[in-house]
Amino acid sequence: MNFLVDLNNPVVRECILKLVGEEGLKVIRNMPPGEVTDERISEVTGVLLNIVRRTLFILYENRLASYRRERDTNSGWLTYLWTLNMDNIESLLTAESRKLLKNLETRLEFERDNMFYVCESCGRRYLFETASESSFVCPACGARLDFEDNKALIATIKKRIGEIESRIGARA
């Protein structure tokens, strides 16, 4: 590998997978060092050229790859020479963590602001309003709905928010 990033790290791997998928990960793992054309990358990795190009452009948009253009003086064709630069992976992970943090904070507020009832039979969860409108009978299966104490879920969400906040603080 021609860059310093641990693709075996589950957080990094998941971030890359989310960005470019399994085939894209294969491109990154097997990309030749230095400047290389997309055609050469396709040959070396065994990944279809259109997938290689898609992967490279996604990496470029996320500042994880760069390219240099050369014009063939005879034909006038442009050749793109690609290089991986995974130095930006930390800021990408931080941005993803911030998105997750925002979603968890929204979920925490939703859990705090509402009361829930759950069907022990089918496992569906309903807001109080829906449960009361159906006389606390599951609209899906007809079983009784029971109050759900969501304090444990709220505690879990708070804990996860704290973990992310400390990790982001360490990176920022």
Question: Per-residue pLDDT tens for 18-38?
Answer: 999 999 999 999 999 999 999
Region 63-88: mean pLDDT is 92
Q: Which residue has the tokens 């879990």?
A: 156
Helix axes 151-171, 89-113, angle to 10 degrees: 160
Give mean pLDDT, residues 156-166: 94
Average pLDDT of the segment spanning 128-153: 97
Q: What is the mean pLDDT of the chain?
A: 92
Contact 37, 43 (CB under 8 A): no
Map out the domains of the chain with their CATH numbers: 10-84 (1.10.10.10), 91-171 (no CATH)
Report field, pTM of the whole predicted structure over 0.75: no
Q: Pinpoint the alpha helices (H) of the chain.
A: 10-30, 38-45, 49-61, 89-113, 128-133, 151-171
Task: Read off the pLDDT band of 1 (50, 70, 90).
Answer: very low
Length of the chain: 172
Q: Which two three-digit tokens encode residue 98?
A: 């911030």
Q: Taking residues 118-129, report their average pLDDT.
A: 97
Residue 166 has pLDDT above 50, yes or no: yes
